[in-house]
Chains A and B, each alone.
Chain A
Amino acid sequence: MRIGVLAVQGAFAEHIAKLNGMGVDCIELRQRADLEQCFDGLILPGGESTVQGKLLRELQMFEPLRDRIGQGLPVLATCAGLILLAQRIADDETVWLGTLPVCVRRNAYGRQLGSFHTEAQMEGIGTVPMTFIRAPYVESLFGADTQILARVDGRIVAVQYGNQIGVAFHPELDEDDRIHEMFLRLCRQNSA
């Protein structure tokens, strides 16, 4: 199994290090030609969503990735990645990939002074560490097919819709591998 990690900007190296540590091969997706290689799942890492979204478009990766996600390619989207997937961004006209039927709020906890670390229940996994860096949260869900995986202080911070997992925090920054394992299970089921 091989995972494609969007590597246009942000904390992609941390995801790759974690997956390599779990014995999984990764490829960096930096431009359209990289998408021609085979990969069984996609990671959209943290970073700045405005930068990543713009580079996705300008490096001609936008449509092929959106189509593959639409066809069921498993995705793990963290922080900025969640913003790229969301169908709507609160108080913002921008829509990037728009494949995940939720509305997210950017910088929902304020500036860097609002960044925090906590632990909370994740559906089907148990208590996991969660690191929020200038993080978004999910403000609302569109339709009943999206499952809430975790809440912190009443706010939705993790969701799943089909093969798309979106989390507002950074599982790649903590020692715990269980969220990546959950994603890899989706990838295995999908390619089986």
Chain B
Amino acid sequence: MSEMSEDRYTLNKQLAQMLKGGVIMDVTTPEQAKIAQEAGACAVMALERIPADIRAAGGVSRMSDPKMIKGIQEAVSIPVMAKCRIGHFVEAQVLEAIEIDYIDESEVLSPADDVYHIDKRGFKVPFVCGAKDLGEALRRINEGASMIRTKGEPGTGDIVQAVRHMRKMNSEIAKITSMRADELFEEAKQLAVPYELVAYVHDNGRLPVVNFAAGGVATPADAALMMQLGAEGVFVGSGIFKSGNPAKRAAAIVKAVTNYSDSRLIAELSEDLGEAMVGINEQEIELLMAERGK
């Protein structure tokens, strides 16, 4: 790698490994961050407005106030992540300056660049990026992302897109795994990614970084569904603090991720959680955030 030392990139991928089997929760205040930590979040995403409210408010959505992020950093001992706009490398520099643990270059915010993503190799802090398919994932990894998540439609409470992205990623990985070695060069060309990354997927049957599910997770069953489909952990955005009983729902989702194939336990966890977030169906959405950044 160019500026980022190989060591630092390895350490950043390894932090994502430590988050596996966990739930990363969107929070907007230190109080919510504490509730999330108490409920068993393995990290929190600090942002000014959760995606459902960003969607409702409309307008340009930007990186959060660093003061607000610092308040959350002081409130909890678990890692704190924050979002910057796609391509907005100065917002990323600001987040690095306040020693954020992970930056999400996120389609939830308004993109700052409609062509280029951030050159993430130039940073010491790690980045997580969204991907709808394998090509997008490997392009982000080539730019220096050390963690990938699905790009399920944020703020909708609708799991359909996250499922679509995870299944597509899995089937593309399976296809590459079954290819002859001499077919990988053409595949790299089709995916618009370097041959070495395609060869890694071919040899290992997985992405070279940790892959989480994100977007539309609202219930313990949603979270377990994504885990059974192969996600290594789950981001929950609006699903928790837009619901009737955030602490209880958050704790239930955490346990469902740990024991994602124990249907009897998930049944228990799903009882009496109160009102789930209302949710919007795919067909009712005017703005598809997943289409931001390719």
Contacts and interface: CB of A to CB of B under 8 A. Distances in A.
B292 interface: no
B252 to A, nearest CB: 10
B170 interface: no
B14 A173 contact: yes
B41 to A, nearest CB: 7
A148 interface: no
Contact of B18 (A10, A59, A110, A111): A10
A47 B40 CA distance: 12
A164 interface: no
Given A30-B259, A134-B101, A106 B20 contact: no
A51 interface: yes
Nearest to A173: B14
A48 B258 CA distance: 13
B99 A47 contact: no
Contacts of B245: none
A19 B262 CA distance: 25
B22 A115 contact: no
A110 B40 contact: no
B161 interface: no
A40 B150 CA distance: 39
A11 interface: yes
Nearest to A48: B42
A58 interface: yes
Given A7-B21, A117-B7, A50 B254 contact: no
A175 B254 CA distance: 31
Q: Which of A13, A50, A59 has the most CB of B within 10 A?
A: A50
B250 to A, nearest CB: 11
B14 A111 contact: no
A54 interface: yes
B254 A51 contact: yes
Interface residues of B, number: 37
Interface string B251-269: 1001101110010010000
B101 A58 contact: no
Nearest to A47: B18
A112 B79 contact: yes
Nearest to A49: B77
A59 B252 CA distance: 12
Contacts, number: 107
Contacts of B7: 117
A88 interface: no
A107 interface: yes
A55 B18 contact: no
A4 interface: no
B17 interface: yes
B251 to A, nearest CB: 8
Interface in B229-286: 251, 254-255, 257-259, 262, 265
B11 to A, nearest CB: 5
A57 to B, nearest CB: 10
Interface in A92-126: 106-107, 110-113, 115-117
A11 B16 CA distance: 9
Contacts of B22: 9-10, 47-48, 51
Q: Which of B10, B43, B77 has the most CB of A within 10 A?
A: B77
A111 B265 contact: no
Contacts of A139: none
B21 A112 contact: no
Given A47-B22, A50-B37, A55-B255, A110 B15 contact: no
Nearest to A170: B14
A31 B266 CA distance: 13
Given A9-B21, A48-B22, A133-B14, 6 more contacts: A46-B18, A79-B18, A106-B77, A111-B101, A133-B18, A134-B101
15 contacts: A8-B258, A9-B258, A14-B17, A48-B18, A48-B78, A50-B77, A55-B40, A55-B255, A55-B258, A59-B258, A111-B99, A112-B12, A115-B11, A115-B15, A131-B14
